[in-house]
Amino acid sequence: MNKSPHVAIVGATGAVGVEMIKTLEKRSFPVGKLTLLASARSAGKTLKFMGAGIKVTELTRDSFAGIDIALFSAGGSISKEFAPIAAKAGCVVVDNSSAFRQDPNVPLVVPEINAEDCKKHRGIIANPNCTTAITLMALYPLHQAFGVKRIFASSYQAVSGTGAKALEELERQVEQIVNKQPVTKEVYPHQIAFNVLPHVDSFLPSGYTKEEMKMENEGRKIMHHPSFRASVTCVRVPVYRSHSVAVSAEFEKPVTVAAAREVLRKAPGLDVVDDPENKKYPMPLFTSEKYNCEVGRIRMDCALDNGLAFWVSGDQLLKGAALNAVQIAEVLVK
């Protein structure tokens, strides 16, 4: 891998694409050259990187000649079509969609957990689901210490997970309600302002949604833990950009709050914010625009054997997407 690679961002004008550009800059990633790619609709726009304006060009089958790393965040159908083309052109793709996550030939990576898996890539590396990534930041260190068997979890997912239009929808609806105007909706099936929707992604015949099953399926692959089980309810909440998850986890080995705290304090990319006496616990308001996830409300689970309950919160656009992708690129350059 070139030490100052030519990097492309596919879906550069979307909510995650914009964060990818900012993250490359903030982390001083050794970008030799940056190419911004998007649909014909967005081509011609100019985005800033390192003080210079870069023109967005249209994504075509010929876009990848000479590119070393391509960060994709333009949806599953674009990834399915263009990621193999990019890989064939000699580029390593870090894909933020769900298109390749369950492909046995594609590593699914959270660098703090399984950076080693990057070495097995055949041109494509998958970025996990945002809720899964944020949950595993706290769950994996506990798994290493105590051996997780299963979790029961509820997510509190920010609208940024749906994209830029959803962020606009929440803002618009809040304004409409405050000004006593009729509420209009385009992105979600119901009003999201001052409401919560127990519906993220599409429903499966089992009654779970695809999003809810990602925690189990992706968790197994990232943690190399094929018997891991997760029963999850995913809920969309009127929050802009940070996901939170309430987790009850059952472990093989006996666990104490003190031992769990000790493990979590040492975990990379995670801050322990757990001082309920002083009303300190992770909140989406304070984890937004932060690289690290936060964990708190750590307590013994009174309904499970060897059980621990905790609450984790992290920025959906960063650890849940752009930051994780850039960290994977950093592993590749190393």
Out of 91, 118, 121, 130, pick the active-site residue: 130
Question: What does 305-320 look like in DSSP terms, one character per residue?
Answer: TTEEEEEEEEETTIII
Helix (H) or strand (E) holding 168: helix 164-178
Q: Kindly tell me the sign of the dihedral angle through the C-alpha atoms of 205, 72, 241, 56.
A: negative
DSSP, res 278: G
Would you state the structure tokens that stand for residue 236, as one six-digit string? 């969309």
Q: How far is CA 154 from CA 234, 235, 244, in A?
A: 6, 7, 9
Would you state the structure tokens that stand for residue 286, as one six-digit string? 């304070």
Dist. CA 125–CA 321, nearest whole Å: 13
Query: Is 130 annotated in the active site?
Result: yes
* Structure-token match 């950076």, residue found: 115
Q: Kindly tell me the sign of the dihedral angle through the C-alpha atoms of 297, 234, 291, 325.
A: positive
Dist. CA 22–CA 112, nearest whole Å: 21
Dist. CA 244–CA 151, nearest whole Å: 15
Dist. CA 300–CA 304, nearest whole Å: 9
N-terminal to C-terminal alpha carbon distance within the chain: 8
Contact 328, 133 (CB under 8 A): no
Out of 6, 121, 143, 243, pick the active-site residue: 243
Dist. CA 256–CA 101, nearest whole Å: 34
Catalytic machinery residues: 130, 243
